[in-house]
Amino acid sequence: MDDPNKKWIYYFDRPGPANTLKTLECCKSRAHELGLKTVVIASLRGDSATKAVGLFRQTDINIVAVTIPPGAHWVVDSLNNDLWKDIPEFRRQKEEWQKAGLRKVRMDMDEETEKRLASAGVKVVRGTIPFYGIGTSLTARFKGMNFEQHFTEALRLISGGMIVCVEVAIMAADANAIPTDKEILVAAGTSMGLDTAVVIKPSTSLTFADPKAGLEIKEIVAVPREKPKYSPEGVGEEYR
């Protein structure tokens, strides 16, 4: 007889967008096993959410795609931290932007993509990143680590995508796009794409640390074994 308490985790060799499709497949499988109906996806520009639409077609899974407000950009000449050196997809992306003569690249989802996803039944949420908001702006100007960064560095011990999973779950709850009394699946990645998936009991930002109503990470479904090499020095400089 199978042990109902035995769970599975899919391990990627390394972080990065190359894991996006498999991460979504893991979400689909675990959602079916647990009977979960909602998958929240971190999707800055809509690429990961678009892949989810195709994969989750003919299922009863509700997709919530979380992006950020307009105004943030990748500043191409400032993309010099380890993520942009060690992850092949990021190296190629930077080279493409440089060849195209781009100085800044819009980070959030454009209006056309948002409309296309909405027409496919996806809830698109825009909101301030909980651990990357005003505190990060102040850090970029005045230097030093803010309170949120200490918390995110702890989550980074699991994966860079784990930070984003927690953030987008909060953002979706704050936007009233998901229930906070039911478990959901959340997928996110390391800067772009998907490489981490978790089962979360979500919460709003106001109740995040509440002993009863606070956010809980219930299961890790997929995660990279290699952790992203990333220094907190200069946080915010590449996103001006």
Q: Per-residue pLDDT for the chain (240 aa), expressed as one digit of tens each?
A: 478 788 899 999 999 999 999 999 999 999 999 999 999 999 999 999 999 999 999 899 999 999 998 888 999 998 988 888 889 999 999 999 999 999 999 999 999 999 999 999 999 999 888 877 656 665 665 566 666 777 777 888 888 899 999 999 999 999 999 999 999 999 999 889 999 999 999 999 999 889 888 999 999 999 999 877 655 444 444 454
The pTM score is: 0.89
In CATH, what is the architecture of 10-72+107-227? 3-Layer(aba) Sandwich (3.40)
Residue 212: exposed, middle, or buried by beta-carbon count in 10 A (0-12, 13-18, 19+)? exposed
Which pLDDT belongs to residue 134?
59
Nearest to 95 by CA among 79, 71, 81, 106: 79
- Domains of the chain, residue spans: 10-72+107-227, 73-106
Count of Cβ atoms closer than 10 Å to residue 10 Cβ: 16
Within the chain, residue ranges assigned H as helices are 20-34, 47-55, 83-86, 88-99, 111-119, 134-142, 147-155, 160-174
Residues recorded for the chain: 240
3-state secondary structure of 68: coil
Which pLDDT belongs to residue 139?
63
Which pLDDT belongs to residue 234?
42
pLDDT tens digit sequence for 124-166: 999 888 877 656 665 665 566 666 777 777 888 888 899 999 9
